[in-house]
C-alpha cells in the first residue's frame, strides 16, 4: 500500500534495452535530495559563521576588559574577575586542540598580565617615573621549523629618562629553550639574560659629541660602543640547576595568544605584533 502510494506520487520511470527493463532515476527525487544536501551545507556554514562572530566578539570583550588596567598594574578585584571570565570564555573556543607551532612562531605583544614578576616592573616604573620607564613587552617564539619545541625570548623595552630614548631606550632580553610536554603545555629552560639595543637620548649624545664642535674619532667611537653594547649573563651552568617553568598555552589563533604560568604564576594576554628588528 505504501509502495503503491509512493509510486503514485513519484512514479518510477522504466526504459527497455531489449533484454531488461531498467529503472531510470526520478529527476524529482534527485532534485529533492540535492536541495536537502544544499540546505544542510548552508546550515553548517551558517553555524560556523555564527561561531566565528561570537569568537571575535569574545576576544574583543577580553581586550576591552583589560584596556584600562595599564597591562594589569591598576586592575581592581572586579576588573580581574571580569578579565578572568572573559579569558575563560575565549579559551573555550580552542579547548582540546594541540598547539600549532607554525602559528605560534612570531612576535606577540603583551596587553595584560597578573604575573607578579612582570607587575613588579610596572610598579617600579610607577614609583620612580623620573628614573625608570617600561615600554612594550613582547614574547618572540622561534619554532616554525620545529615539531617538538623551539626558542622563546621575553623582550622588555625600557628606558632611563633624559639618558636613554623614552620607552625604547634599551632592551632587556630573557631567552629560553622550550619543549612540548603535552598538547598545550610547554616547559621553559631559561638560558640567558641580556641588555642590548641601547639608544641614548639626544641630550646625552650632545654631551658626548657636541654638534657645534668637530666630532673627533674618540667621540664617534664612544657613540658606536654604546650603540653596539651588549651585556649578557648566562643562566645555565654545570654548577647549578637550570631555572625553568611550565607554561600552559590556553588559546592560540592568528592574532591572539593566551597563556597561564602553571603553579599560580599568573595569566597573560597577547596579540600578534610586527616582527622585531
Enumerate the domain spans of the chain: 98-273
Segments in the chain below pLDDT 50:
1-23, 29
For residue 45, the model assigns a pLDDT of 55
Place of cell 634599551: 170
pLDDT value at position 97?
85
pLDDT on residue 22? 44
Burial call 225-255: b when 16+ CB within 10 Å, e when fewer: eeeeeeeeeebeeeeeeeebeebbbbbbbee
pTM of the predicted protein model: 0.76
State the pLDDT at residue 141: 97
What count of residues does the chain have? 277
- What per-residue confidence (pLDDT) applies to 70? 96
What CA–CA distance (Å, rounded) separates 272 from 240? 35
Fold of 98-273: Lipocalin (2.40.128)
Amino acid at each position: 500500500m505504501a509502495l503503491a502510494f509512493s509510486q503514485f506520487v513519484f512514479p518510477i520511470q522504466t526504459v527497455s534495452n531489449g533484454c531488461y527493463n531498467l529503472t531510470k532515476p526520478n529527476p524529482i527525487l534527485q532534485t529533492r535530495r540535492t536541495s536537502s544536501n544544499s540546505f544542510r551545507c548552508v546550515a553548517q556554514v551558517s553555524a560556523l559563521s555564527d561561531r566565528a562572530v561570537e569568537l571575535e566578539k569574545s576576544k574583543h570583550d577580553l581586550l576591552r576588559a583589560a584596556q584600562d588596567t595599564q597591562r594589569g598594574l591598576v586592575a581592581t578585584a572586579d576588573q580581574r574577575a571580569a578579565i578572568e571570565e572573559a579569558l575563560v570564555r575565549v579559551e573555550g573556543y580552542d579547548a582540546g586542540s594541540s598547539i600549532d607551532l607554525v602559528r605560534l612562531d612570531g612576535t606577540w605583544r603583551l596587553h595584560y598580565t597578573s604575573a607578579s614578576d612582570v607587575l613588579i616592573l610596572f610598579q617600579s616604573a610607577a614609583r620612580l617615573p623620573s628614573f625608570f620607564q617600561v615600554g612594550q613587552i613582547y614574547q618572540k617564539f622561534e619554532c616554525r621549523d620545529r615539531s617538538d619545541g623551539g626558542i622563546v625570548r621575553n623582550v622588555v623595552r625600557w628606558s632611563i629618562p633624559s639618558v636613554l630614548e623614552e620607552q625604547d631606550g634599551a632592551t632587556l632580553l630573557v631567552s629560553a629553550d622550550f619543549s612540548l610536554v603535552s598538547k598545550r603545555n610547554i616547559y621553559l629552560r631559561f638560558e640567558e639574560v641580556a641588555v642590548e639595543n641601547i639608544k641614548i637620548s639626544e641630550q646625552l649624545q650632545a654631551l658626548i659629541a657636541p654638534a657645534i664642535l668637530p666630532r673627533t674619532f674618540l667621540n664617534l667611537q664612544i657613540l658606536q660602543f654604546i650603540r653596539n653594547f651588549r651585556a649578557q649573563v648566562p643562566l645555565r651552568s654545570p654548577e647549578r640547576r637550570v631555572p625553568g617553568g611550565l607554561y600552559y598555552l590556553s588559546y592560540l589563533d592568528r592574532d591572539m595568544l593566551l597563556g597561564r604560568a602553571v603553579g599560580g604564576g599568573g595569566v597573560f594576554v597577547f596579540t600578534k605584533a610586527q616582527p622585531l628588528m
